[in-house]
Structure 1
Amino acid sequence: MTAEVDVLVLGGAGVDTIVHVPELPVPFADSLMIRPGIVTRAGQSGDFVALAAAALGLRTHHLDLVGDDHEGDLVRALHRDHGIPLTAVPQPRGTKRAVNLVGPDGRRLSLYDATRAADTDPLPEETVRKLAAASRHAHVVITQPCAAALPLLRASGPTISTDLHDWDGVNPYHEPFALAADLVFLSAAALTDPEPVMRSLTERGRARTVVATAGAEGAYLLADGEPTHVPAAEPPGPVVDSNGAGDAFAAAFLYGWLRGEPAERCARYGTVAGAYACTVPSTRVDSITRAELHARLTELTEDRQINRQINRQISGA
């Protein structure tokens, strides 16, 4: 059977309210004047992966629990406007929502409404099996109830990836996702030395490729036991917000990975897409296209080659 979907995204559909603050942590005050204002828009981790994957030409489908509420309407409209199929399972608790405090340097603090999800929330098994059987790959967001769907995905055949975000290497909540995935992404933000954690994942779980993103320091790649540092890509404009950069990285990595490209090149795709995402204000949703990705990677590669030639000439002088 030929797969109908390249990337099935499970979980992570929701709405963010963006609040720009003068600094993080927010200074205590009775009131603060906020500019450029407060904006509510659809788009959480799963939404961003789906949008980024679709922009790169991957056939994408998103599955999650979504409420019959204003936030749910925003999520459905986002997918409809971008032509991304969404299977929205009714969620009586309401659509996931969060408040993102964004500092002037683009850093953010996300406050998630924990009342809109529970461990007992189900994704219908038959729906998961049917979509998984039609998909080449499943990217699983670490929101409930996605952990319970992992055995169904594994039995249905697609390869699996997940993003552990700022995992500290200890929190047991992340382990079902980390150990079931063939490809694991995480942020190095909470790790002094990411390599031991990355190696532990390959030793204890299914993954043979683990990527730890490190912002301006690039990314650390462990593929088939070989560690590689991939430098950060130069952003194509001013950095205004880091929201969605990790999701863009993951989608671009998957774009290369599903094409059978070497892991290091996949990571370079990721750094380019992540850098692009940092130039997009958090009040908008915008993803790098396939043509832009290849053009930007070619440009950066040529720049590095020129710099190496100049350095060799200086060294030989």
Structure 2
Amino acid sequence: MVVGGSGVDTVVRVDSLPVPLADSVGVGPIREWPGQTGGNVALGCHALGLNVKFLDFIGDDWTGGQVREHLAKGGVDFEGMHSPSGTRRAVNLVDKTGRRMSFHDARDPEDLRMPREFYLPHLERARHVHLSITNFTRFLFDDIIEQGVPVSTDLHDWDGMDAYHREFAYRADLVFLSAAGARERIGPVMREILREGRAQAVVATAGAGGSYLLTREGSRTPRPVPATVPPAPVVDSNGAGDAYVAGFLYGRLAGRSLDDCAHLGAIAGAYACTVEGSSSLITGEALRSAR
């Protein structure tokens, strides 16, 4: 089960990042891609052959319609509650190498809560829950832990300091984050998550630099997992981290070792970079044959 994190990305292709300071900059065709982090993880897991239930708040607006249509085409079982503030959006600048810079409009009101009677029936049937770091999802932790269901989250570019992410970091069983946020401090941040929280493993993704895995057993130094060479030219890194999460969870739910899961995540993430948005996702058969 995936909770939270749907929306629409507006993708603007630029020559380089940061963009030059100018009144007007010519760009190529601007594209809209429904998905965002929760939607992408749900779509990625479904493409790999997992049964996925996706719950979120969504607006009765054009962007919400795009999200619903895209998830339906991808075969994801989505149930949405009405969002009074509309559907989340983001504007992503993507350079020629596929790197991106995202401007995210979360827009959810601070007091937004998902009713227990809405999510509990689905939670009781779930093998695993992945929480996006939308604020309302933090209030599901108590029930998830009480039910004994493993839970993962993606902190994205957390620097190890922002208090907003800390509850997610410390209460999840499996934590993903981007190494770009903490940079040279990523090792200490990963160790802090294990020391202060309940996670059994922390995974830091580093794009073309691969990823790093830290577990409760073994060395206190995160062990590197090499990046997988993409099977085609890199087009867009949007969604690569979400695809990595989907590949990792696929391995975890199949009973693979954490190291194997990290390699599966790397393969899925590399594949995602070769297409725009979530227009094509790696299947379970392709993932297994690529190992």
The TM-score range, normalised by the shorter chain, is over 0.9
Q: Secondary structure at the match of 2:144?
A: helix
Asked if residue 104 in structure 1 is aligned to residue 104 in structure 2, the reply is: no
| Cα distance between partner residues in 2 of 1:157 and 1:285 | 34
Is 1:22 aligned to residue 15 of structure 2? yes
Gaps of 5+ in 2: none
Alignment equivalent of 1:66, drawn from 52, 58, 73:
58
Aligned to 1:216: 208
Matches within 5 A, 1:1-317: 8-35=1-28, 37-114=29-106, 116-191=107-182, 192-226=184-218, 227-282=222-277, 284-297=278-291
Q: CA deviation at 1:240?
A: 1.5
Q: Which residue of 2 aligns with 1:306?
A: none
CA distance in 2, matches of 1:156, 1:127: 15
SS state of the match for residue 233, structure 1? Answer: coil
Q: Letter of the 2:124 partner, please give it.
A: A
How far the C-alpha of 1:157 sits from its partner, in A, is: 2.7
Please say which structure displays the higher CA radius of gyration. 1
Whether contact under 8 Å (1:17, 1:39) holds in the other structure is yes
C-alpha contact 1:128 1:152 (8 A) present in aligned 2: no
Amino acid at match of 2:113: P
Identity percentage of aligned residues: 48
User: Counterpart of 1:202 in structure 2: which amino acid?
Assistant: L
1:150, distance to aligned residue in structure 2 (A): 1.5
SS of residue matched to 1:148: helix
TM-score by length of 1: 0.88
Aligned to 2:181, the other structure's residue is in SS state coil
Q: TM-score, normalised by structure 2?
A: 0.95
After superposition, the C-alpha distances for 1:225-253 in whole angstroms (9 at most, x for unaligned) are 33421111111011111111111101110
Letter in 1 for 2:139: A
Amino acid aligned to 1:247: D
**Once the 2 structures are TM-superposed, how far is the Cα of residue 154 of structure 1 from its aligned partner?**
1.6
Counterparts of 1:286 and 1:239, CA distance in 2: 13
Structure 1 residue matching 2:275: 3-state secondary structure: coil
* Residue 144 (structure 1) shift: 2.2
Instruction: State the aligned residue count.
Output: 287
Distance apart, 1:178 and its partner CA: 0.9
- Deviation string 1:99-139 (CA, Å, 9 cap, x unpaired) is 1111111111111224x212211111111211111100000
Please tell me whether the aligned partners of residues 43 and 285 of structure 1 are also in contact (alpha carbons under 8 angstroms): no
Letter in 1 for 2:157: D
Taking the aligned partners of 1:49 and 1:129, their CA distance within structure 2 comes to 21
Residue segments in structure 1 that go unaligned for 5+ positions in a row: 1-7, 298-317
Letter in 1 for 2:260: R
Secondary structure of the 1:46 match is helix
For 1:28 and 1:228, how far apart are their aligned partners in 2?
A: 40
